[in-house]
Amino acid sequence: MAAALVPPPQFADASFASYRPDPEYPSQAAVRDAVEAFVATRPEPARRGLFGRRREPVQPARSGVYLDGGFGVGKTHLLAAAYHAEPSRKTFGTFIEYTALVGALGFQGTVDLLRGTSLVCIDEFELDDPGDTMVMTRLIKELSESGTRFAATSNTPPGALGEGRFAAQDFLREIQAMSDRFDTMRIDGLDYRRRAVDESARTVDDVAGALPDGSTTLDDFRAVVAHLASVHPSKYVALVEGLDAVGLTDVQAFTDQTDALRWVALVDRLYDAQVRIVASGTPLDQVYPQAMLDGGYRKKYLRAASRVVALSRAAD
């Protein structure tokens, strides 16, 4: 299971050198350099004293870096670059993948599996699920105290004490203890996936006819959304495995927020696997009513909208 915790295919070759910071946003280059320096800094190994007493290794002041910023500014690229630059044992996974690991192995089993890992990379850290977040704060505490370091990207809901900070008021002491272990770095910038501010997800009249060659699916959008309710989000990876494209007919706007959040989780997996989307009906970046966009999950919906624009225009 730990062997599967690697960056998704589109970031298989991500490096700090291949990251292209926008010169109009100096924080991009600054954060790139800071993360590279963090990975390159090695904790001093433990040594024995003159009389055989083992001295604890000298750890950096902070055991992790936490990258916060808007969607499409390269946070995942930098996280994958950190993974590839780490010469020792390391893992890379989304927040959901790590919580699924705890679900499968139990908390202590997960600690035992990951103990001894030099760097744990966590993409899309969720701060809107109290139960899962508490599990992850405990996991970070246990592993960091044994020498593991962390790199994470944020998915902080708007209004959670600002985008550049942990949601300390939501989970108080637990989240504050975790945030004390991290250097929080803000990345500013525009979404690189949108070539124009008015660009939307592509739609077609004949989905079946527009599907590319290869391994594809063809389903009614509402049927897909209904099916997601019967599958745990940790299993969405298996749903899209091996696919080249998915066809969706009669896309409609969401009326239920739970359905919308499940769809967001699927979009993340489709994006990780770079599965093209061919759809008819409402453009997939316009399926979230304004009431949902005005709520606490706005950042998730905008990230998903950005990603479906890229996936629907993959052949452009």
Q: Which CATH number do you get for residue 258?
A: 3.40.50.300
Asked if residues 263 and 277 have their Cβ atoms less than 8 Å apart, the reply is: no
Rounded CA separation 115/296 (Å): 34
Strands (E), 76-136: 90-94, 119-126
Is the model's pLDDT at 59 over the cut of 60? no
pTM: predicted TM-score of the whole model, two decimal places: 0.74
Residue 295 is part of which domain span? 207-312
DSSP one-letter string for 122-176: EEEEE-S-HHHHHHHHHHHHHHHTTT-EEEEEEEPPTTSS-TTS--HHHHHHHHH
Predicted confidence (pLDDT) per residue in 163-175, tens digit: 444 544 544 555 5
First to last CA, the chain: 36
Residue 183: the pLDDT is 86
Which position has the higher pLDDT, 92 or 159? 92
158 shares its domain with 46: yes
Which position has the higher pLDDT, 266 or 302? 266
Rounded CA separation 179/172 (Å): 11
6 shares its domain with 60: yes
Smallest CA-to-CA distance from 46 within 57, 35, 37, 38 is with 57
Predicted confidence (pLDDT) per residue in 194-250, tens digit: 544 457 899 999 999 999 999 999 999 999 999 999 998 878 888 998 999 999 999
Which position has the higher pLDDT, 202 or 47? 202
163 shares its domain with 223: no
Predicted confidence (pLDDT) per residue in 98-139, tens digit: 988 898 899 999 999 999 999 999 998 876 667 777 888 889
Asked if residues 158 and 296 have their Cβ atoms less than 8 Å apart, the reply is: yes
Half-sphere exposure at residue 208, Cβ-oriented, CA atoms within 13 angstroms: 2
283 shares its domain with 234: yes
22 shares its domain with 130: yes
143 shares its domain with 250: no
Q: Is residue 201 part of a domain?
A: no
Residue 53: the pLDDT is 54
300 shares its domain with 230: yes
Predicted confidence (pLDDT) per residue in 266-296, tens digit: 998 999 889 999 999 999 999 999 999 988 7
51 shares its domain with 159: yes
155 shares its domain with 226: no
Q: In what order do the strands lie in the sheet with 64-69?
A: 90-94, 119-126, 149-155, 64-69, 182-187
32 shares its domain with 116: yes
Rounded CA separation 29/36 (Å): 11
Q: Is residue 219 part of a domain?
A: yes
Asked if residues 280 and 204 have their Cβ atoms less than 8 Å apart, the reply is: yes
Q: Is residue 153 part of a domain?
A: yes
Residue 205: the pLDDT is 96
Predicted confidence (pLDDT) per residue in 65-103, tens digit: 989 887 788 999 999 999 999 999 999 998 888 988 898
122 shares its domain with 70: yes
Domain tally, the chain: 2
Q: Is residue 195 part of a domain?
A: no
Residue 168: the pLDDT is 45
Residue 60: the pLDDT is 45
Asked if residues 204 and 233 have their Cβ atoms less than 8 Å apart, the reply is: no
